[in-house]
Amino acid sequence: MSKVLVPFYSSYGHIHEMAKAVAKGAEETGAEVRIVRIPESQMAKEGMSTQEAYVEAQNQQADIPEATTDDLVWADGVVWGIPTRFGNMPAQVKQFMDAAGGLWANGSLEGKVAGIFTSTNTAHGGQETTIITSVVPLLHFGFIFVGLPYGENPEMTERDFVGGTPYGASTLAGPDGTRMPSEGELTMGGRLGARVAKVAEKLSN
């Protein structure tokens, strides 16, 4: 049985919903799963606290433990929830990774499995670039990256479908941010969680 960590950062709840689907998919393989939230920055909290949707989403996440570098050591596989910021990861996620520099120095994360899921407002707003650029620091840590193949995810080829990439699961929030993950997007998130859990179990054995 593998141990799967799902660390996520979510301003408005889209990545939080995907994280729950990812965790469920991993759990269905028999894996032990831990969901943690990457801490919000004080500057973002102050700047966005007047937005009702942001406040509501943060309240819904309040009971989820904050991520620590010890969580990364515990896990065999890590499925990162990374929304886009201008086609790249948010500063909050980068800060958390930077704080794990000691684990990089002693090779503590080498050989662990990683996957990534993301969220954007628009269809071409960074669905792929966010995942691809986020892989770079993970490779420095020594993670083995797992994507989301077309053959296992027919939803990616549906005409009216918007989320999903071969690099990882994704969802589209829409221009005003009100669209939440669809059933198909959540399904693909679950498959990514299961895929990371299965690969992690094989490698740990």
pLDDT recorded at residue 12: 96
User: Tokens for 118?
Assistant: 């993301």
Q: Taking the complete model, does pTM exceed 0.85, yes or no?
A: yes
Give dist(CA 185, CA 55) in Å, integer: 24
Cα separation values, 32 from 6, 47, 74, 204, Å: 11, 36, 11, 14
pLDDT recorded at residue 204: 87
Give dist(CA 22, CA 168) in Å, integer: 11
Per-residue pLDDT of the chain (205 residues; tens, 9 = 90+): 999 999 999 999 999 999 999 999 999 999 999 999 999 999 999 999 999 999 999 999 999 999 999 999 999 999 999 999 999 999 999 999 999 999 999 999 999 999 999 999 998 999 999 999 999 999 999 999 999 999 999 998 887 778 999 999 999 999 899 999 999 999 999 999 999 999 999 998 8
Domain that holds residue 91: 3-204
* Structural domains counted in the chain: 1
Q: What is the CATH number of the domain that holds 153?
A: 3.40.50.360
Candidates 201, 11, 181, 33; CA nearest to 92 is 11
DSSP state of 165: B
